[in-house]
Amino acid sequence: MTSIILCGITLLLSCVLPNDKPNESIDSLTNKTGKQTTDITGQVYSDFFTIDCPCELQIEPNYINKSSTFYKCADLDNQTFYRISIDNQAEALRQLKIQDFNGTFIKNFLNEYMANLIREKAEYTEIIFNGQKAIIYKQSITVDATPITSKSIIFLANKNSFTLSVMTNAKMADKYFEKFINSFKWTVQPKSIAGKEVQQQTPTSAYASPKYGYTINIPQEFRKTSATGKNIDLKLINDGGNPILVNVTPRQAEEYSITAHDYTAQMLENSIKPYNPSFNIIKSEKTYIDGEKAFLIYYTDSKSGLKAIECYIFYKDKAYVLTATAKTNDFINFEKTFLSTIKSLKFKR
């Protein structure tokens, strides 16, 4: 099986062509024409999914891979470019004499894709996206002396690989990307979602803070318990003693001039290591939670044998820190639950 990195320089440049007809909205995936809205053109339909895009996705007829369907558009007002690539994997399945994707096929495909990303020195992370194993990756290029950041997600379902991409300036890439992919919805549920994986999803209930007004999901295996820390507004815990904490403090005067995206792993390590030398950040990411800039870190504490995910967010006059912790050897069993809980945070508007 051969996979191809789809965001090479040639393909990226092909995405920055403006649309020829800015005054009408074309639903490229079905060739339906309709009126353009002021913000989102409406959901774009394929045989498998819907997605919202702020510009008119149009098919690229000269795309060299004949087993693929490639759509692109340009939001020129925000200097942002969108693309969707749907690559038919039927031939790869036929060569392996299998009818549909299985765990081995998906694992090998994504592992080969990650190997290519490593060779291209791209940033990447593995996630679960709408029930499917996926890779999010980011690359930087220069077009006409202008730096551009490309952020993409790739996953497999319904005998196709799907790549959703956004290209824009580095400061806005995360925000536009999150908005784009979060609007994705299956219309034809892949077998891995409709069957086994749906049964394995962890049901949640919602908690609303009476003091601060935010809401957050509580995974089924966790329960609310009393907290001893002065600034801990919520403490969730499971039977194994793994805590998820929401810490809320007043925003300091100097913090009004920064956002969570101004945080760096080095800055946090420099502030914490003098008090805890065993603290070590192993991964960090600038992201968005409920549309607000957030800084997410993974850290270990070699002295206590713990590993945690921690997220920093400013909202209005408050600073929020969400922390989810497990023993290092058990962390992999809780990582998805921890991440989905943190990302479920919603602020009262």
pLDDT given at position 129: 81
pLDDT digits (tens, 9 = 90+) for 217-245: 999 889 999 888 889 999 999 999 999 99
pLDDT given at position 43: 54
- CA atoms in the 13 A half-sphere facing the CB of 203: 3
* Dihedral sign of CA atoms 126, 289, 174, 318 in order: negative
Q: Which residues of 77-108 are buried (b: 16+ CB within 10 A; e: fewer)?
A: eeebbbbbbbbbbeebbeeeeeeebeeebbee
Rounded to the nearest integer, the mean pLDDT of the chain is: 82
Angstrom distance (rounded) from CA 230 to CA 248: 9
Q: For domain 202-343, give the CATH number.
A: 3.40.1000.10
pLDDT digits (tens, 9 = 90+) for 166-209: 999 988 998 999 899 988 888 877 765 433 443 344 456 889 99
Per-residue DSSP letters for 196-228? Answer: IIHHHSPPEEEEE-TTT--EEEEETT-EEE---
- Taking phi over 0 as left and psi of -120 to 50 as alpha, with beta for the rest, 241 belongs to left
pLDDT given at position 103: 85
- Separation in Å, CA 292 to CA 103, 145, 254: 35, 30, 19
pLDDT given at position 3: 32
Q: For domain 9-197, give the CATH number.
A: 3.40.1000
pLDDT given at position 268: 95
Domain map (residue ranges) of the chain: 9-197, 202-343
Helix, strand or coil, per DSSP, at residue 148:
strand
Asked whether the domain spanning 202-343 has the same topology as the one spanning 9-197, the reply is: yes
pLDDT given at position 20: 34
Please compute the mean of the pLDDT values over residues 341-349 and round it to a whole number. Answer: 91
pLDDT given at position 151: 94
pLDDT given at position 204: 64
Nearest CA among 336, 330, 288, 291 for reference residue 311: 288
What percent of the chain stands above pLDDT 90? 54
Res. 56 pLDDT band, cuts 50 70 90 = confident
pLDDT digits (tens, 9 = 90+) for 66-109: 678 888 999 999 999 999 999 999 999 999 999 888 888 998 99
pLDDT given at position 121: 82
